[in-house]
Structure 1
């Protein structure tokens, strides 16, 4: 109990002068953009470029995870001026991805409990008017998508760790009306198990992300059967083999699960996907590899280019060769696609949502300058001497294209070097313009509004 009181006191200290919020602060670039939880505050803006990345250090690898404690009384996300956060729900086992149904219901993957929850909020409020378990008996559910896209979906798709299933859906359903139908079976499920899904705007393509089975393909084997040259000729650019075959990929299917194809390779763990409303482009946020030092390599968010290879396991952030695979794939040098937005190493980006903002009520919608930007949740580091991540950042866009800059938006989840209460995971935009955030440190869901949008 004493420990919780001490942490609550620390939270109050950080909420005052030392963390005075500024709407806009000078852009931090190069090494100055490297930070940790003590330097995070809403409005801090960063820009990282490939040349800012230090050289890898295989010998130096920190282990600094854990430290989750009870949420101190009154603790909530720290936000820019004019924004407020209200608690929707707490005590959830493992709230991960959150997606918003066309009628406004919040569908939340409760992964450890193997179920999908539904929250129907009272109008303009964070208070749930109704809650329900939509489906149970799943296998570590994560991604959720409604099909067909638009106002009248007929199915709810759920990505288990080892499959994609769907349930019949009618507007307002709080419980599934039938057993799940398997659409994609035999998805490899070990190690990186978070499978996200999204549909193309025309509804013709189902996208599925499948993360790697390891950190750097330790068990893949040095060469595929028949040799690297033969493999490279018969497979997509940069495709892994052995235990990693079919992993670190973004895949595409017809909505019925047929006609599988590889969209892109070398994305170590694309743990969150969405479609950009302005362009229809598919976006991924990617957890890069560990054990190369505190600031190597950068994580990233990127529009997924068809046929692209993003480097894993042989390269990272362009033609930077992983020293643990030195000389293994010289044929891939110069063929690695650079991602669009670089994020500090070990931040662990898990989800992404674009703030479209076209028809939101004035009382709840964010300021106009947020329209077209994206929000990314950073789950937080374990492989760094001083913690980084544990926040929500805003990716800046101009005319539908990323500038490469990102701002701290929601911070305050870490309260001491060895203690934190929140780990952001899911993010979505509600029908009224509020931002919905899940975190799985204390199992909470938050509704973030601007101005008078408080209940």
Structure 2
């Protein structure tokens, strides 16, 4: 038997070498293979840093089909949060609550995607339960994203991103019922996989950004776009040689009235959650990457989205890593791929995204982002099923992320909660929706 190159070095020492301290008194940061882990190692305060250099080769492990079984939440099951915080059940009995957004007046808008409706929850600041629970609108087509327009304290419109369109309702602060049928604003690609569409407006209110996921996993069987990413981006919008993926795997830009559609960024397999970073006004995406490449490929990610940037799908991932299904197909794109900012455990299914703008959490949280991880199916060891904190320093992502809310997994095969949406309530609490048992949870300071 060949001796290990680590002869004389204890396993414990190797593990400790993979863990470093980033700041005095802070929790350890799991790096490299240690950062991949699984649900059994998840706990509030655990910090991970995954870099492009940490990625295994495609097929290093087999691709697994390991779907979770959703069970009724046990009476004793309560999510876990870091020391100094508490978590309470805010609302229950909802039908698959997905994206949640806070209106300027403090109302919480909830997209119940399956039933095709938008619900409003209203509570006094500091209250742990909503005093009002009303259905705002029905008859929508798998609604997901919600946005208020224009920005500021007095919006005039409520926009909803359906799976096949963007619609809007005339809106005034405090409305509990839609005033009538929605106005159609823009048509969106529909059908196939990845049906969610999120929506935000740029801070100057001049552009509406809408995320549209790919129709497939990794561009199987598609026609090849023209040579050069610039030509591809231009002709992609026209549908040239691209079939069912036209205007998909992208963030689209429109005028607020739905006119002048353009591609804002491309090669993003499934940007489920969109958010605008306060201060900088930069759009961010919470992204599901491709499956079928092994337990630890391809990392999901949360990233700033640069206008005109190309993020690799389907030919490349996380920079110049070529997808084996498209080997040699597009060498001209290899050096044009933008590397995402924060790499997450592969198959976490990163969904909703928000920035912390409140004042009730400790000062170091202000400006950081929170993302909801819906949980894996394509991994032998379950991961995701939690809410993570994306750490920023002076508004710039460090690449680190921290487990913030955990405890939705019961065992290797059973879970009770699948986080989807995150929003900051007017009183500074963080609200988290999960569509496994149809609940919303409220995280606040103790």
- Structure 2's unaligned 5+ residue stretches are 1-24
Tell me which residue corresponds to 2:412: 417
Aligned partner of 2:214 in structure 1 is 212
Q: Is residue 238–residue 332 contact of structure 1 (8 Å, CA) maintained in 2?
A: no
Give the alignment partner of residue 233 of structure 1, picking from 231, 234, 249: 231
Q: Which residue of 2 aligns with 1:4?
A: none
* Aligned equivalent of 2:431: 436
Q: 1:411 to 1:59 in 2, by over 3 A?
A: closer
Q: Distance in 2 between matches of 1:231 and 1:334?
A: 10
Alignment of 1:371 with 2:366, yes or no, is yes
Seen in structure 2, the aligned counterparts of structure 1 residues 36 and 237 have a Cα distance that, compared at 3 Å, is farther
Q: Which residue of 2 aligns with 1:203?
A: 205
Distance in 1 of aligned mates of 2:236 and 2:150: 32
* Other-structure match for 2:304: 303
Q: Are 1:348 and 2:346 matched, yes or no?
A: no
Partner of 1:172: 174
Provide, for residues 180-225 of structure 1, a one-character-per-residue CA deviation record: whole Å limited to 9, x for no partner. 000002432321000000001111110000100000111423x35x
Whole-Å separation in 2 of the counterparts to 1:333 and 1:94:
40
The question of 1:74 aligning with 2:72 is answered no
Please give the TM-score of this superposition, normalised by the length of structure 1: 0.89
Once the two structures are superposed, the pairs formed by residues 169-318 of structure 1 within 5 Å of their partners are 169-221=171-223, 223-224=224-225, 228-229=226-227, 233=231, 235-236=233-234, 241-318=242-319
SS at match of 1:334: helix
Tell me the equivalent position of 1:33.
Answer: 35
**Maintained 8 Å contact 1:366/1:450:** yes
Larger CA deviation: 282-291 vs 74-83: 74-83
| TM-score using structure 2 length | 0.91
Q: Alignment partner of 2:193: what SS?
A: coil
Shift of 1:235: 3.5
C-alpha spacing 1:59/1:241, structure 2 compared with 1 (3 Å)? farther
What SS does the aligned partner of 1:331 have? Answer: helix
Tell me the equivalent position of 1:6: none
In structure 1, the partner of 2:5 is none
Whether contact under 8 Å (1:211, 1:267) holds in the other structure is yes
1:34 deviates by 1.1
2:325 is matched with 324
* Count of aligned residue pairs for this structure pair: 419
The match for 1:45 is 47
1:243 CA drift (Å): 1.6
Instruction: Provide the C-alpha distance between the structure 2 equivalents of 1:173 and 1:326, rounded to a whole number of angstroms.
Output: 54
Contact 2:62 2:293 in 1 (8 A): yes
Distance 1:318 1:238 in 2: 21
Q: Contact 1:50–1:317 (CA<8 Å) still a contact in 2?
A: yes
The residue aligned with 1:146 is: 148
Q: What whole-Å deviation, never above 9, does each CA across 1:11-35 have from its counterpart, x for those lacking one? A: xxxxxxxxxxxx9421111111111
Are residues 1:94 and 2:96 paired? yes
* 1:387-437 deviation digits (Å, cap 9, x = unpaired): 001000101111110111111000000010011100000000011100010
Q: Distance in 2 between matches of 1:219 and 1:55?
A: 23
**Cα pair 2:168 2:185 within 8 Å, conserved:** yes
Contact 2:288/2:350, CA 8 A, preserved across alignment = yes
Alignment of 1:89-128 (within 5 A): 89-128=91-130
Deviates more, 1:155-164 or 1:189-198: 189-198
1:232 positional shift: 6.0
Name the structure 1 match of 2:8. Answer: none
Q: Report if aligned partners of 1:238, 1:309 keep a CA contact under 8 Å in 2.
A: no
CA RMSD in angstroms comes to 1.6
Structure 1 residue 427 corresponds to structure 2 residue 427: no
Structure 2 contact 189–248 (Cα < 8 Å) conserved: no
Structure 1 stretch displaced more, 237-246 or 87-96: 237-246
Question: Which among 64, 70, 87 is matched to residue 85 of structure 1?
Answer: 87
Confirm or deny: 8 A CA contact 1:232 1:238 kept in the other structure.
no
Contact 1:62 1:384 in 2 (8 A): yes
Cα offset for 1:230?
Answer: 8.4
CA contact (8 A) 1:238 1:311 kept: no
Q: Partners of 2:183 and 2:153 in 1: how far apart? A: 22
